[in-house]
Amino acid sequence: MTVCWNRPETTGGSEIVGYIVEKRDRAGVRWTKCNKRRVTDLRFRVTGLTEDHEYEFKVSAENAAGVGQSSPASPYLKACDPTFEPGCPTNAHVVDTTKDSISLAWHRPIYDGGCEIQGYAVEITKADEEEWTICTPPSGVSATKFTITKLVEHQEYKVRVCAINKLGVGEPIEIQGVVKPLDKINPPEMTLDSELRKGIVVRAGGSMRICIPFKGRPTPEISWAKEDGELPSKVQIETGEDYTQLSIDICDRYDAGKYILNLENSAGTKSAFVSVKVLDTPGSPLNLTVKDIKRESVTVTWEPPLIDGGARIKNYLVEKRESTRKVYSNVDNKCTKTSYRITGLTEGTIYYFRVLAENDGSKSAFINVRVLDSPSAPINLEVKDVKRNSVSLSWEPPLIDGGAKISHYIVEKREQKRMAFTSVCLPASTDQVKVSEAPLPPGKIVLVDVTRHTVTLSWEKPDHDGGSKITNYIVEMQPKGDDKWTVCSEVKALEATIEGLVTGEEYSFRVFAVNDKGKSDAKPLAAPVVVKDITVEPIINLLFNTYSVKAGDDLKIDVPFKGRPQPEVSWKKDGQALKQTTRVNVLNSKTSSKITIKDATKEDVGKYEITLTNSVGTKTAEISVIILDKPGSPSNIKVDEVSADFICLSWDPPTYDGGCQINNYVVEKRDTTTTTWQIVSATVARTSIKVTRLNQGTEYQFRIAAENRYGKSHAIDSGPVVAQYPFEPPGPPTNLHVAHATKTGMLVVWGRPASDGGSPVIGYHIECKDQSSLLWTKVNRGLLAENQFKMTGIEESLLYQFRVYAENIAGIGPCSKPSEPVAARDPCESPHNLRVTNITRTSVSLFWEKPEYDGGVKITGYIVERKELPNGRWLKCNFTNLQDTYFDVTGLTEDVQYDFRVIAKNSAEMLSAPSESTGPVTVKDDVDPPTIILEDKLRQLVVIKAGEIIKIDAEITGRPLPVVSWSKDGKEIVAKARCEITSTNFATTLIVRDAIRRDSGQYVLTLHNVAGTRSVAEDPQFLPSPPAKPKIIDSTKTTVTLSWNKPLFDGGAPVTGYRVEYRKSFDDEWFIGVQNTKNTEFTVVGLTPGAEYVFVVKSINKIGVSEPSSESDRQVAKEREEEPVFDISNEMRKTLIVKDGSSFTMTVPFRGKPIPSVTWTKPDVDLRVRAVIDTTDTFTSITLEKATRNDSGKYTVTLSSVAGTSSLTLKWRGRTQDHYCFHEGSGQSIHLSENDDQERHERKADPQLGGSSH
């Protein structure tokens, strides 16, 4: 934990040198120091805490005098990692929607706030509303998915998710956009895991389970089938919302094969199969035959069994027995071939042989054969084609051939009257007779197509044709509800289309195979068919998303698809309709579309888009075609940097990379004066290069080619480039002028060049000349870094011109335009005291005074300028030379504000700086009554001796300018030889020379304008009145402190200070204690101890110093005495109640002069032993540790000094139980703390009463 605190309010008179931090465990008693070294900062990181324990802290400050009292303890805090509210969940997205629900999912927040995520809250609102509604319980859901139900179909909603931990709910994440509840239509999809794709292997007698998950909207119809026939009756099929399972409890060899699952809904169909292999005993070998019969041996041959039992046939067991025996004996049990030569036989003996097959699982049944036995009788003898002298006979071979092939037949005949048969001599060659029968039923029937009036069926050939060729097939149909089957088609092919059916009717179909012996049993279609148009949205089954072919080869793109009705196919290339040419052909069939591109080139590269459209919808797929060829040329060669010996080039890679990565670039160069190209680099990996070792000033051209594994592209050439520095000398400096000129020097200033030539300006050169000279002289020794130069050593009164050059790394640029000629003379100063004397609605009258310094030559005129506020420019007002110091500016606009200024010009054509402006002046008719200001001495009686000059000056104001008249004793004075009246816009003067007695009297000045008449001079400013009598407030042996009140009258001007003077009571000489102080209190120092003094104070304003105040009371320079007193409130006098065993401190402030001595007493107790007493100049305190009831009673504190004695009795009472007293109306507190449980008792006391706690 990090503990922070503030500095103490008082430092104890010494600087704080450090702090001590202590801690205490809630389960412990002792305080433990946290810092080993002194802490100087106002914070400290406390380590070594026990996790989940609660701690409190306190801090003590330390200065040179020691460690101060501790701060109050902090609240208990648990030591644990900081926890916050969690961050927002991530990847919130909609998983599914229905017409009244929305399913969403999300991931955990990246930041959990430092504690476990307890759940998630899901909120929803309509898109046009702002009020969110929580969908989950208030505590949230623990899963990272949720389904919101009971929503309105097609209503737009906004959804957000928040994470919840123990600190609360974190920031939400809102799903982008709006969400609508609606049913989705998705074609069926199924997922076969790797085990099912490999196939299922099960032993005979075991159980089999095929579970396949699927999805689709709406829920697809499910059908299972077996490739080589109908499903066995023992098959059990279980279907859930998102899975289907086929199971067989006891498997045998007939359960092996491919099991096909078909899913179908309105959006499409999906099929998949699972191969099942049953490990069982193999079947019996076939066609066991005895060959090559000899005297002592025979050879038997056979064919492998049709059923291998799901495993490879390992070997065969061959056995034999004599006809007279019943037990077979083993001949060989490891025969791996399908023939075996049996030896050791006895001539003339009849033998039986048998063979069985063996695989990994078990053995097959035996196949038997008897050797050297007669065959059985032929069967099914028929007489045909009876003629006059011949008959034709036919029969079938015997069921038993006697162990050998039937070599021939013996035909016998007898007449009906005779009993004996006689042999019929057969011809040398007889016709071969083929034995035949009716065929087996056709194989699997498949429903190929259904329309509103037709049904198309296909089927497989029968497994056996009955020994005779299949001549045709008969298709019969049976409408639903009808018991009669009707022949609807006879075809020779394995497919038939039945037409003329009724839309919406349900039909059953069956198929017969026919040969010359008759027709087979019927093979029915697995399920009835409803005659209607089936609509399926187009489905594209891309074999590949990208096709690539080497340039010059043919490219074939085959895209299988399906859809009902048959979709229309269209192709686009790069957004444009694909044009068929002699190279590009498109071939469409019912189930696929093929593009054939002959001799592919890079123009065939692009995005090919196939679009299927039917009445149900449109489906689009995109295919990328890459032609593998050498790349295109690079483009946009840029010269990035040019120097004297290198050039940096960059370029853009080819837009066509040849279908593979660009390996490198080949960069070549040539001198433009030759035709030979030189390779700079053939292995440039990037699209930039720095070509070095060039010759300065030579013009070069470059070409660049790209190269991949199929070859090098055509090169692209750059423009000619000269190897030279990329910059040039800078342009001429601008705005060259003489900013200031005197008779001894000039300050020349200029601006930076408009162009630096491509390289920063490194300095300047300056030249000057006399205006009458033709030779320019360089005046700077070194390069000038700044844009100014101070020219010295010039000749007074000569006219000088200057020009400046700029220099960069490329050299020195052209010079600037020469400056205007400037004379080497001191400039005149600006006019001063510019003021407005009159204002009308169209004019302003100005008056000013001449410059105090004219530059050494005569002032020849003035230039008056005005500026319209707030955004105007300074404009010249006088267009002729103005020699007067006043001017009427006319032609102004009424109610517009202007500013005015004046510039002086001397005979050396030197212009001064502009004067201070008048400030804003509003042009309008403005009148002010006249005013008169006389000097203070003229307001009193003026005494003049005969023959002297009477001179009366007065300042006058008024708008418009007032008319001035002087009068004496009521008569107007007229200018005579002795009398002279001089008036200006701002003053008037009356002069009477050679004064005589009759010139005595009252002289009156009268001013008159349209605003009024004034004949009394006025001056509002006088000396202030003196302050009141000063009071003595303190004294020491060498100082006296006095205070006074401000004067009643400040003389019309603010009082700026006071002067304090003093003298000894028996002396007349006054001394100044302070010349000027702004305070109304001052301590006079440096006095003689024991001497008696008096003091006066004078007020000061800008007119001068007032008369002195009344003298203060006499004061002897000595220490003052004050009786000691306690600075406490009545609350302190009440009984203080403290719990037994606690520690407390009582602090009592006091004052007195001199500082009194302090004594604490308690009856029958020596407090110096029992308590700790601390006394300073302003307070005394007593501290009792572990107080008991014996400490109850009265505590008396006594103050004593030469000025008197004062006592205070405090009462204290202890209690065995916690008791806290609080008193209102006071500022500070007495803090009581206990060592055992650190409980605190706080008592409000007087604002001057301090406190502490332990």
In a domain, 1021, yes or no: no
Domain around 880: 832-926
Residue 962 sits in the same domain as residue 853: no
Residue 1132 sits in the same domain as residue 1237: yes
Residue 1154 sits in the same domain as residue 1239: yes
Residue 1133 sits in the same domain as residue 1233: yes
CA distance 994 to 949: 6
Percent of the chain topping pLDDT 70: 92
Q: Please, what's the b/e burial string for 28-49 (b: 16 or more CB within 10 A of its CB; e: otherwise)?
A: eeebeebbeeebeeeebebeeb
Once rounded to an integer, what is the mean pLDDT over residues 388-392?
A: 80
Residue 850 sits in the same domain as residue 951: no
Please write down the long-range contacts of 90-94, taking CB distance under 8 Å and 24 or more positions apart: 90/173, 92/159, 92/160, 92/161, 92/173, 92/174, 92/175, 93/175, 94/159, 94/175, 94/179
Q: Residue 196 carries which DSSP code?
A: H
CA distance 902 to 919: 13
Residue 70 sits in the same domain as residue 98: no
Residue 1147 sits in the same domain as residue 1235: yes
In a domain, 181, yes or no: no
In a domain, 84, yes or no: no
Once rounded to an integer, what is the mean pLDDT over residues 119-137?
A: 91
Percent of the chain topping pLDDT 90: 28
Q: In this predicted structure, what is the pLDDT of residue 698? A: 92
In a domain, 707, yes or no: yes
**Quick one: pLDDT band at residue 773, thresholds 50, 70, 90?**
confident
In a domain, 83, yes or no: no
Domain boundary, last residue among 235, 257, 279: 279
E-strand stretches of 451-605: 455-459, 472-479, 486-491, 495-498, 506-515, 518-519, 523-524, 529-530, 536-540, 546-550, 555-564, 568-573, 576-577, 584-588, 592-597
φ, ψ of residue 716 to 5 degrees: the values are: -115, 135
Task: Please determine, for residue 1247, whether its predicted confidence score (pLDDT) is greater than 50.
Answer: no
**Number of residues that make up the chain:** 1254
Report pLDDT digits (tens) over 853-868.
877 778 889 999 999 9
Residue 271 sits in the same domain as residue 191: yes
Domain boundary, last residue among 514, 530, 546: 530
Report pLDDT digits (tens) over 819-851.
988 888 877 888 988 888 888 888 888 899 888
The number of domains in the chain is: 13
Task: Please determine, for residue 5, whether its predicted confidence score (pLDDT) is greater than 50.
Answer: yes
Q: Which of 869, 767, 884 is nearest to 818 (CA)?
A: 767
CATH of the domain at 558: 2.60.40.10
Give whole-number Cα distances, 916 to 831, 875, 901, in Å: 8, 16, 6
Contacts of 962 (CB under 8 A, 6+ apart): 930, 956, 1007, 1008, 1009, 1014
Angle (nearest 5°) at CA 245 between 242 and 250? 170
Contact by Cβ (8 Å): 761, 808: yes
Once rounded to an integer, what is the mean pLDDT over residues 573-594?
A: 90
Could you give the count of Cα atoms lying within 13 Å of 1233 in the half-sphere of its Cβ? Answer: 13
In a domain, 980, yes or no: yes
**Quick one: pLDDT band at residue 1251, thresholds 50, 70, 90?**
very low
In a domain, 1251, yes or no: no
Report if pTM > 0.85.
no
Amino acid present at 1201: S
Q: Which of 128, 151, 274, 161 is nearest to 208 (CA)?
A: 274
CA distance 688 to 706: 12
CA distance 604 to 900: 81
Task: Please determine, for residue 472, whether its predicted confidence score (pLDDT) is greater than 60.
Answer: yes
Residue 1132 sits in the same domain as residue 1240: yes
In a domain, 436, yes or no: no
Report pLDDT digits (tens) over 679-721.
999 888 899 999 998 998 899 999 999 999 888 999 999 999 9
Q: Residue 1131 carries which DSSP code?
A: G
Residue 274 sits in the same domain as residue 213: yes
Give whole-number Cα distances, 1101 to 935, 1018, 1043, 1084, in Å: 17, 19, 19, 22
Residue 574 sits in the same domain as residue 616: yes
Count of CB atoms situated within 10 Å of the CB of 709 = 12
Q: In this predicted structure, what is the pLDDT of residue 217? A: 81
Residue 746 sits in the same domain as residue 815: yes
Domain boundary, last residue among 799, 823, 847: 823
